Amino acid sequence: SEVRECLKLDQDHKQCFSLYKQVKKLNKQIESAEELIRGGRYEDAISKYHSVMKTEPEVPIYSTRAKERICHCLSKNQQATEAIKLCTEVLQLEPTNVNALKDRAEAYLLEDMYEEAIKDYETAQANSENDQQIREGLERAQRMLKQSQKRDYYKILGVKRNARKQEIIKAYRKLASQWHPDNFQSEEEKKKAEKKFIDIAAAKEVLTDPEMRRKFDAGEDPLDAESQQGGNNPFHRSWNTWQGFNPFGSGGGPFTFKFHFS
């Protein structure tokens, strides 16, 4: 608006006209990037914000804001390592940047770095006390830390938190084949394998069911009796439940197991 005022006074002012074109282009790029973010098109938004930095490389605040928004896109797109790196760059310049703290905290959660996520959320909360998103994020991070000290289904299967269903099933089949009790001879080995097999089957059950996975990602174990209201766990499984169960049947796999336990 100030540049427009300049041009009203002198339509032929070369510097004003040049600056007007640049500011107009910059504004259009930022609006376009934000529209892409609202539509969940994070890769395209990242590209657009890189263009913002090229359009205005001389004014540091634009580079910082662009990096902050790219960090947000990376975190939303579950590119945790890249998000942490870029958010950290922003936070080195602006240690109390609430948006960067929230996005880095979410990226830390994807990497199972719960204590780091809690620290970021606490710093964000200290600088924005009434932000409900921060409060909910902090509570979720604390639940996830507590949960990680119990049974972590992602770790059991050796997959990332953003793993797709097919990756989960593939990891499950590999581990179920490895730890099936029929593969072991001694009673001690069989008992160890039974426990492993039950955990592997439980992990697959939770992580391939959208509702149970959503609960687990929110810090609640749907197979843990203590986390169910009234202590009644309708999902409880024992080794006997899995006898006669073919873990590879649903995907047409070549494996079939017979159980010989009395």
Correct CATH for 2-149 of 1.25.40.10, 3.40.228.10, 2.40.30.10, 3.30.70.260: 1.25.40.10
Q: Are 106 and 137 in contact (CB under 8 A)?
A: yes
Burial (Cβ within 10 Å: 0-12, 13-18, ≥19) of residue 156: buried
Confidence of residue 255 (pLDDT cuts 50, 70, 90): very low
Q: What is the mean pLDDT of residues 128-133?
A: 91
The pLDDT value given to residue 227 = 54
Comparing 148 with 212, the larger pLDDT belongs to: 212
Domain boundaries along the sequence of the chain: 2-149, 153-222
Residue 205 confidence (pLDDT) above 50? yes
CATH topology of domain 153-222: Helix Hairpins (1.10.287)
Nearest-Å Rg of the Cα atoms of the chain is 26
Residue 39 in tokens: 């539509």
pLDDT in tens, 18-63: 788 888 899 999 999 999 999 999 999 999 999 999 998 888 999 9
**Distance from C-alpha of 34 to C-alpha of 38, rounded to nearest angstrom:** 6
Residue 159 has what pLDDT?
A: 93
SS3 content of the chain, % helix, strand, coil (to 5): 70, 0, 30
The 10s digit of each residue's pLDDT in 78-89 is: 999 999 999 999
Q: What are 103-115's pLDDT values in tens digits?
A: 999 999 999 899 9
Tens of pLDDT, residues 153-194: 999 999 988 899 999 999 999 999 999 988 888 888 888 889
